[in-house]
Structure 1
Amino acid sequence: EGQKAFLAQMKIERTTDSRLASILAENLSANRSMEFYKSLELKIKNLTSKEVVDAFKKHVTADKMITIWAGDFNKKN
Structure 2
Amino acid sequence: MADDDSPLGSASSGSAPKKQDASKLKQEVSEEDRTQLNVDIPESLHKRLKIESVETGREMREIAADALDEYLGT
TM-score tier (shorter): 0.3 to 0.5
TM-score by length of 1: 0.34
Structure of greater relative contact order (alpha carbons < 8 Å, 6+ residues apart): 1
Calculate the TM-score normalised by the size of structure 2: 0.35
Higher helix share: 1
